[in-house]
Chains A and B, each alone.
Chain A
């Protein structure tokens, strides 16, 4: 391929990969801004009771007692999962009318981790997802359509990655004769925005590539978890298949948590799915532990605890693709390096919005130039045509 035809091919790839994904990427970037600060925003919007002020070192309330309170409030509901936050002194209990019910019917009760008091009795997901942050998340992830939307937005993310790579290839020939940071402001608006598009594109390149790729991996969470359940979890479940009934009453959750913690020394229990929940099994608590180093605190090791006997069935060390998914979360969310990292994330996101917007403008401006050229040619032809007619 000659240099000219290869340049034309890369230009074609860059134009079409960007054009198809730009509007979705703009929505992703704009909704991503509040999502970067979701913990802070949810803290401000939270209308629940405040946490009890307790002296340092106060032990946490038992989970069994909290679950009993949750069941007393909703005696006809089942418990789906329990999340023990390590950033906030809270225990979240997720409940639903039945384990088969749609996720929209799930609702959360927030308890104080120290006193065990109910702080907030949240509405069902069908309402929560229409809150401000719920809408931001849906527009960012799946447009309220679940898996099809996740896969579609994942595809848009993949096109974004293609646009970035082809953009880097084009940066070479475009900037060959210009020093870094050239912005030609005097000649025309189009030239100025072309230079700015190149400049801001190349400075945000690595960040956008990482956030784009990890975003695509995050959109694959549902199929990746499905694959794990169909393979590793299915193998663990095989001995329970032949007619074994799920236990009629479950052992203490506190005891199950303690057993899981002992099974993975050095790890801390962060949450668990109740037996019957779609992420657990009918026979087991699925207890999620995380490591204690900065890196391993993002990597989760699930422990299956038999809900009938309270004994650890197995430590289900996750396969590489779940570790990849778990590492893709912090690298996409930007929530792993304190408030300054979140601010940097938001500012780099803003620059990416400028790159997307200027790219769109350049395409429009070029079209306008082409249209004007066609119109001029047409005008030049008209007298000739009329002279032929007369």
Chain B
């Protein structure tokens, strides 16, 4: 039997990072000003998450 929330545990964070990336790519394309700021912030998240777990890994 599959555990409840097993899919969420596995794919939850990747899905959030994917949504943030797509939001960032489109926000910078469709808007200016505040939208550029939000795009930079959104695109920085996957980058920071990747480098963070590289430097401070879960073992």
What separation, in Å, do the CA atoms of A390 and B49 have in the docked complex?
A: 64
Given contacts A184-B59, A337-B40, contact A206 B17 (CB under 8 A): yes
Q: Which of B4-56 contact A (CB under 8 A)?
A: 6, 9-14, 17-18, 21-22, 25, 28-32, 36, 39-40, 43-44, 46-47, 49-54
Q: Is the CB of A206 within 8 A of B21?
A: yes
B36 A206 Cβ-Cβ under 8 A: no
Chain A residues with CB under 8 Å of B39's CB are: 337, 341
Q: Which of A55-63, A195-203, A364-372, A381-389 lines the interface with chain B?
A: A195-203
Chain A positions 203 through 247: 1 when the CB is less than 8 Å from some CB of chain B, otherwise 0: 111110010000000000000000000000000000000000000
Contacts of B43 in A (CB 8 A): 207, 341, 344, 348
With A and B bound together, what is the CA distance between A207 and B44 in angstroms? 11
The interface residues of chain B lying within 8 Å CB-to-CB of A183 are 53-54, 57-59
For B11, the chain A residues whose CB sits under 8 A away are 172
Please pick, from A180, A185, A205, A294, the residue contacting B29 in the complex, using a CB distance under 8 A: A294
Check B57–A182 contact: CB distance below 8 A.
yes
Given A185-B57, A206-B21, do A298 and B29 touch, yes or no (CB 8 Å)? Answer: yes
How many A residues touch B, CB cutoff 8 Å?
38
Task: Point out the residues of chain A lying under 8 angstroms from B36, CB to CB.
Answer: 337-338, 340-341
B44 touches A344 (CB 8 A): yes
Asked whether A203 lies within 8 Å of B29 as measured between CB atoms, the reply is no
Q: How far is the CB of A144 from chain B (nearest CB, A)?
A: 31
Considering the chains assembled together, what is the distance between the CA atoms of A58 and B44 in angstroms? Answer: 39
Q: Which residues of B contact A186 (CB under 8 A)?
A: 59
Residue from A182, A340, A347, A348 in contact with B58 in the complex, judged by beta carbons closer than 8 Å: A182
Tell me the count of chain B residues lying within 8 A, CB to CB, of chain A. Answer: 33
The minimal Cβ–Cβ distance linking A202 to chain B, given in whole angstroms, is 5
Interface assignment of A265: CB less than 8 Å from any CB of chain B: no
- In chain A, positions 72-94 with a C-beta closer than 8 Å to chain B are none
**What residues of chain A lie closer than 8 Å to B17, measured between beta carbons?**
202-203, 205-206
Q: Which residue on chain A has the smallest CB distance to residue B27?
A: A337
Q: Are A204 and B46 in contact (CB under 8 A)?
A: yes
Residues of A within 8 A of B44 (CB): 344
Residues 158-208 (chain A) with a chain B CB within 8 angstroms? 171-172, 175-176, 179-186, 195-196, 199-200, 202-207
Contacts of B57 in A (CB 8 A): 181-185, 195
Residues of A within 8 A of B18 (CB): 205-206
Q: Which residues of A contact B50 (CB under 8 A)?
A: 199-200, 203-204, 351
Q: Is the CB of A205 within 8 A of B54?
A: no
Interface core residue of A181, A206, A331, A347 (most chain B CB under 10 Å): A206
Is A341 a contact of B40 with CB atoms below 8 Å? yes
A184, A185, A205, A336: which contacts B28 (Cβ < 8 A)?
Answer: A336
The listed residue with most B CB atoms (<10 A of its CB), out of A184, A205, A295, A337, is: A337
A315: min CB distance to chain B, Å: 24
With CB as the reference atom, state the residue of chain B lying closest to A172: B10
Write out the residue numbers on chain B whose beta carbons fall within 8 Å of the beta carbon of A182: 57-59
Given A203-B50, A207-B46: A340 touches B59 (CB 8 Å cut-off):
no
Given contacts A199-B54, A206-B18, A347-B47, contact A341 B28 (CB under 8 A): yes
> Hey, which chain B residues are within 8 Å of A180, CB to CB?
9-10, 12-14, 53, 58
Which residues of B line the A interface, CB within 8 A?
A: 6, 9-14, 17-18, 21-22, 25, 28-32, 36, 39-40, 43-44, 46-47, 49-54, 57-59
* A-B contacts, 8 listed (Cβ < 8 Å): A180-B9, A184-B59, A186-B59, A200-B50, A203-B17, A205-B17, A205-B21, A337-B36
